[in-house]
Structure 1
């Protein structure tokens, strides 16, 4: 896999992760359907945030490492 494809994949993972985090926050704060579901609704919104963090945080660190490495090489 070339560096361009890897960086594109990582940026996509970050975007999806941040979108899931925002969706989880929206569901938790503004959705009446989630509120009506009770505990199951809280679990759904928490899972959105958790999966978003799993996707976004490690890829940010790896992407930053790649960009710093590329910058130092040339």
Structure 2
């Protein structure tokens, strides 16, 4: 897998994670269906936030590491 494809894949993971976090917050704060489900609704909204954080945070760190390595390699060439 090339670096460009890997970066696109990581960006998709970040976007998906942020969307899941926002969905979990919406479900927890504004959805009447989740409130009616009681404990199961809280678990559903918490799982959305948890999976969103799992997808978004490590990929941000890895993407930052890739960008720093690319910049260091470019500065060595000059």
> TM-score normalised by the shorter chain: which range applies?
over 0.9
Scaled by the length of structure 2, the TM-score of the pair is: 0.94
Secondary structure of the residue aligned to 2:9 is helix
Please identify runs of 4+ aligned residues in structure 1 that moved more than 3 A.
none
Name the count of aligned residue pairs: 74
Q: Which runs of 5+ in 2 are unaligned?
A: none
Distance in 2 between the 1:44 and 1:31 partners? 12
- RMSD, aligned CA: 0.4
Which is higher, the Rg of structure 1 or of structure 2?
2
Mark the runs of 5 or more structure 1 residues left unpaired by the alignment. none
**What is the TM-score normalised by the length of structure 1?**
0.99
1:33 aligns with 2:69: no
